[in-house]
Homo-oligomer: A and B are copies of this chain.
Amino acid sequence: MAVCTLGHVELLVPNLAETYDYYHDVLGLEEECREGDSVYLRGWGDFNKFSLTLTEDEEAGVGHIAFRVEEPADLERYAERVEDSGYDVDWQDAGVEPGQGESIRFTGPADQTFELFYDIEEPDVPKEQRSRLKNQPQKLVDRGVGARRIDHVNCYVPNVAECSEWFQDVLDFELREELLIEGDDVGKWLSVSPLVHEIAFVEAEEPSLNHVAYYLKSRGDLFRAADVLKEHDVEIKGGPGHHGISQANYIYQDDPAGHEVEIFAGGYLIFEPDWEPVTWTEEDMPEALYWWGKGRKFSDSHEHSDEFE
């Protein structure tokens, strides 16, 4: 029984055509299919049928954030745990999302809609897009930034500690790193794999998406990515740089609907079974956030937010 990986994120966008062009042309994602008001996209290295859903809506927002579980029966088990923790569970039928089996949805204390699923089809790759690399879902994309696969989400929440504990207790995430400013829980990075995080919680007054992150093939590709973004008139909000926390190399930008997107590479992997969460404090700033490179505003709400740029 386990959550295994981040599966996909659904973003609500009021300007679907424009936002699609950004993800397809600039980020280099592939279109998998369209259903109703939604377009389903993925990176060339994503093994699931889709990793990003763009759904036309009146206002920008997050539809849901979905994780994949280890086996089908985990849905029932986690549903019970979520309900025991005091939150409602909403079962979705197979096919509500293309190629996906039944799933459960719930909010938890982060006040976002999360989803767990097990069954998911592989990408439906046209013959001419299949790579001779049999361990790669399709050919590498040389369009735009050429983003490889989804990596993690970062959520703004006013209750960082509560969200972190709930994800550990109910969904079996492990706390990998944390940021405490004068004793306040300002950020928590959690994972279900050797990655440092599939999800992070950062303090803000209102719950919202901080960013969704796509991985490149190599950190050297970040220089090219910066060149490509600039030529596409995309504003670079932060980066290229190197986080202290997570050791990731990054570039931040907004999609045309206003969602922040991180493209990144680098980082480190945690294989040790007795990993102790790494605690960063005000004494470690600003390097905890920005080891080197151009930073960007970290949090709107915290009284110490000025230190975080």
A sample of 15 inter-chain contacts (CB < 8 A) reads A5-B271, A68-B271, A132-B244, A132-B287, A133-B247, A134-B280, A134-B284, A135-B278, A139-B231, A142-B143, A142-B144, A194-B195, A224-B224, A229-B292, A240-B292
Given contacts A134-B244, A140-B231, A239-B293, 11 further A-B contacts (CB under 8 A): A4-B273, A48-B272, A132-B287, A133-B287, A135-B245, A142-B144, A142-B231, A193-B271, A217-B227, A218-B266, A220-B220
Chain A 158-196 near chain B by CB (<8 Å), digits 1 or 0: 000000000000000000010000000000000001111
Q: Are A71 and B140 touching (Cβ within 8 A)? A: no
Chain A 269-309 near chain B by CB (<8 Å), digits 1 or 0: 10111000011100010011001111000000000000000
Chain A 100-140 near chain B by CB (<8 Å), digits 1 or 0: 00000000000000000010000000000001111110011
Q: Are B230 and A291 touching (Cβ within 8 A)? A: yes
Query: What is the size, in residues, of chain A's interface with B at 8 Å between Cβ atoms?
Result: 70
A228 at interface by CB-CB < 8 Å: yes
- Chain B residue nearest in CB terms to A292: B226
Q: Are A284 and B132 touching (Cβ within 8 A)? A: yes
A residues contacting B by CB (< 8 A) are 2, 4-5, 45, 47-48, 68-71, 118, 131-136, 139-140, 142-146, 177, 193-196, 217-224, 226-231, 236, 239-242, 244-247, 249, 265-266, 268-269, 271-273, 278-280, 284, 287-288, 291-294
